[in-house]
Amino acid sequence: MSHRLRILSRIRKALDAPAMPSETARAEAVAERIAHPPQHWPLRSIQTADPEGAAQLTLIGRFKAQLARLGADVIEVGSVAEIPAALANYVAANVADDAAGLARIRMGSDAFLAALPWSSTSGLEIAAGMAEAADVIGVSRAIAGVAETGTLLLVSGAENPVTLGYLPETHIVVLETGAIVASYEEAMQSMLAATGGRMPRTVNLITGASRTGDIGGKIVMGAHGPRRVAVVLWSA
C-alpha cells in the first residue's frame, strides 16, 4: 500500500467513532467550509467605528503608528509625481552612496513604478530585474497595507520580484493610502481582486525589517534580509 493510502486509511480509522457523522455529511461539511469560509472577522479591536471617510483616515493613522512601532520609516508624499524625489532624498539621507555618488536602486517591471518621473531626479541609478547579491536598495510596490499590524502585502512576479524584499539591506515599498485596509482578510481580498482570483506563487506579508533575538535575547535588525524598511505612502 502506498504511504498516501496508509496514512489516509489510518486517519479514517482514527476518526471512525459511533458518534461520527456519515461520510457524505463530512464531505459536505468540508465542501461547504471551502465554498463559504466562516467569517471570524471583524474583531472589535481592529475594526474602525466609522465606515466612511473618517475610517480611512483612522486606518492610515493606525497603519503609520504600527510601522513606527516596528521601527519602519514612513515617507509621505502628496502626489505620484513626488515619489522619485522623495525616494532619492530618503536614500541620500539614510543609505551610504557608492563611489560614483549614485545610489543604485533595483526594481522589477511594475508598470506603476516604471511610469514614475524618475528622470526628474538625479542621484539614483535604476537597475531592473530580480535582486542580486550586491544590491543595496530594493524598491517594490505593495498591493495592500494592513492597519492591524502595519503589514505590507506584496506578491511575487516579474513586476515585483520577491528577492527585492530579502537580499538588499534597504527595502523601500511604495503604497497608495487607498490600499490600506483594516485586516489580513481584506488585504487578501484586494490581492485576489488584483490577480483575477489567482494565487500568486508567493504572497509576502512583511511586517517591519528582518530581525532576530537569538543572541543574548536582544532584538537586532537585519538578521538576513533588510536592516531597514521604508514605506512611501502616496494618496491619489
Partner 1 sequence: MTARTQFDADIDTALADAPLQRALADVPAGFVAGRRRAREELLEFEPLRRVARDIRDHALAHLDLYLEAFESNATKAGSRVHWAASGDDACRIVLDICRAAGARTITKSKSMVSEEIELRERLQDAEFDVVETDLGEYLVQIRNEKPSHIIAPAIHMRAEDVADVFRRQHGHLAPDRKLDTPEEMIAEARGILRDKFLSADVGITGANFLVAESGSAIIVTNEGNADLTMSLPKVHVILTSIDKVVPTFSDAWPLLRLLARSATGQAFTAYTTIVTGPRRPDDPDGPEQCHIILLDNGRTELLASEMRPVLRCIRCGACMNHCPVYCSIGGHAYNSVYPGPIGAALSPALAGAEQAAHLAEASTFCGRCEQVCPVEIPLVSVMRQWRSLALEQPRSRRARVMLHTWARLAQHPRIYRWCAGIAARSLKWLAGSGARIRRLPFLHAWTDYRDLAAPQGGTFQQQWAQREHKRAQRDRADVSAARARKSDSVP
Residues 120-179 that bind partner 1 (CB under 8 A): 129-131, 133, 148-149, 151, 156-158, 161-163, 165-167
C-alpha cell at 168: 538588499
CB of 43 to partner 1, least distance (A): 5
Give CA–CA dist 198/130, Å, rounded: 22
DSSP category for residue 199: P
CB of 22 to partner 1, least distance (A): 13
**Count of residues interacting with partner 1 (CB under 8 A):** 74
Report if residue 111 touches partner 1, rule: CB under 8 A. Answer: no
CB of 101 to partner 1, least distance (A): 26
Beta carbons of 209 and 227 less than 8 angstroms apart: yes
Part in contact with partner 1 (CB under 8 A); list of ranges 41-49, 73-81, 96-104, 174-182: 41-49
Query: What is each CA distance from 42 to 14, 149, 151, in whole angstroms?
Result: 35, 15, 17
Q: How many CB atoms lie within 10 A of CB 16?
A: 8
Burial zone of 232 (CB within 10 Å; 0-12 exposed, 13-18 middle, 19+ buried): buried
Part in contact with partner 1 (CB under 8 A); list of ranges 5-13, 48-56, 75-83, 93-101: 5-13
Report if residue 214 touches partner 1, rule: CB under 8 A. Answer: yes
Report if residue 30 touches partner 1, rule: CB under 8 A. Answer: yes
DSSP category for residue 15: H
Report if residue 65 touches partner 1, rule: CB under 8 A. Answer: no
Q: Which of 24, 40, 51, 53 binds partner 1 (CB under 8 A)?
A: 40
> Which residues are within 8 A (CB) of 152 and not within 5 positions of it... i.e. 6 or more apart?
142, 144, 145, 146, 173, 175, 205, 206, 207, 231
Closer by beta carbon to partner 1, 24 or else 119 = 24
Site string for partner 1, 71-110 (x = CB under 8 A): -------------------------------------x--
